Amino acid sequence: MATQSKAKFLTDVYTLLKRRYKPKADRSSAARLSVLKAVVYGICHEATTREQANQALSRFHDEFFDWNEIRVSSLEEIQESLAGIPEPAERARRIRRFLRQLYNRTYGFTLDALTKKPLKEALKVLQTYDAFQSDYVTATVIQQALGGHAIPIDKDTRRALERLGISEPTVAELRAVLERAVPKNRGGEFLDLLEDLANDTCVEGEPECHRCELRKICPFALARKHEPAESTTPGRAAKPRAPREKDQALRAKDAEATPPSPAGHPKKNTPARAARPAPQPPKPRGKPEAK
């Protein structure tokens, strides 16, 4: 798909998804997160819903005195705030690792001076932290804290995009395509809508295309619609193939009427031959016996 047609296609996707899912609050007026919170939010949000990630941030706020207390807590204690989120142990480890790296370098818990620097410069500093090995966390921080244009992509949104025919070899390349096609002022809302799609109908395994707003433009749904019924509906009993069965019955009848060939195979379409008379024993030669 050419860049221009990708942009047009993604605009159609945006319009249709907006129609289905409730419009979100005006994101341009939404308060930015601090860099630190955006890192923790990114770690919590990858492959989960934003509601789950927000809940985790609230629990950290309610259950710990401050970020330093999280830094010195056990992984088990941190995991408790991540209840309901997949892979809580790994996420707890990454959060604590980031807080420890930050404290060891700055003796504090703020990185907000970076928001005043040019984006490239700020990223150069941030990418020295292990948490930024994740492209999802990097994009979340750019979008939520640094005021740049980024659309974080996780495995769920990537799956939906691939079914929609937007695929690239790496997440970074896919993100670059999206960021060119979707303008910055729509980036946040586009991401929310894409997440809603991935968690609602374009789920892992079997997508629920019949109730998806995109089914008329989605290559995956259109291809499935044109597949033969037998392959799209496993388990449906195949229709009886009467002509074929009739053929087999006729062939069986022929075989009965036809004697086997010398090789043991019945000859087709050969009328049955009259049986030859059995050979007679040879007559004894010499004089006839005297009576």
Task: Work out how close the CB of 165 gets to ligand SF4 at its nearest, in angstroms, rounded to a whole number.
Answer: 9
Q: Which is nearer to ligand SF4, 160 or 171 (CB)?
A: 160
CA dihedral 28, 31, 34, 37 (to 10 degrees): -100
Q: Which is nearer to ligand SF4, 98 or 220 (CB)?
A: 220
Task: Work out how close the CB of 221 gets to ligand SF4 at its nearest, in angstroms, rounded to a whole number.
Answer: 4
- Other Cβ atoms closer than 10 A to 1: 15
Task: Work out how close the CB of 22 gets to ligand SF4 at its nearest, in angstroms, rounded to a whole number.
Answer: 18
Q: Which is nearer to ligand SF4, 52 or 199 (CB)?
A: 199
Q: Which residues contact 93 (CB under 8 A, 6 or more apart)?
A: 75
Q: Which is nearer to ligand SF4, 119 or 217 (CB)?
A: 217
What totals of helices (H) and strands (E) does the chain contain, helices first? 14, 0
Task: Work out how close the CB of 212 gets to ligand SF4 at its nearest, in angstroms, rounded to a whole number.
Answer: 3
Q: Which is nearer to ligand SF4, 176 or 203 (CB)?
A: 203
Whole-angstrom distance, CA of residue 100 vs CA of residue 69: 11
Task: Work out how close the CB of 204 gets to ligand SF4 at its nearest, in angstroms, rounded to a whole number.
Answer: 11
Q: Half-sphere exposure of 138 toward its Cβ, with a 13 Å CA cutoff?
A: 18
Measure Cα distances from 222 to 164, 230, 236, 243 in Å: 10, 16, 21, 32
**CA angle 225-230-231, nearest 5°?**
65
Q: Scanning the structure block, which residue is given the tokens 């923790």?
A: 40
Task: Work out how close the CB of 154 gets to ligand SF4 at its nearest, in angstroms, rounded to a whole number.
Answer: 16
Residues that bind ligand SF4 (CB under 6 A): 160, 163-164, 201-202, 207-209, 212, 214-215, 218, 220-221
Q: Which is nearer to ligand SF4, 30 or 223 (CB)?
A: 223
- Other Cβ atoms closer than 10 A to 25: 9
Whole-angstrom distance, CA of residue 167 vs CA of residue 170: 9
Task: Work out how close the CB of 203 gets to ligand SF4 at its nearest, in angstroms, rounded to a whole number.
Answer: 8
Whole-angstrom distance, CA of residue 40 vs CA of residue 276: 97
Structure tokens at 200: 């609602």
Q: Which is nearer to ligand SF4, 142 or 202 (CB)?
A: 202
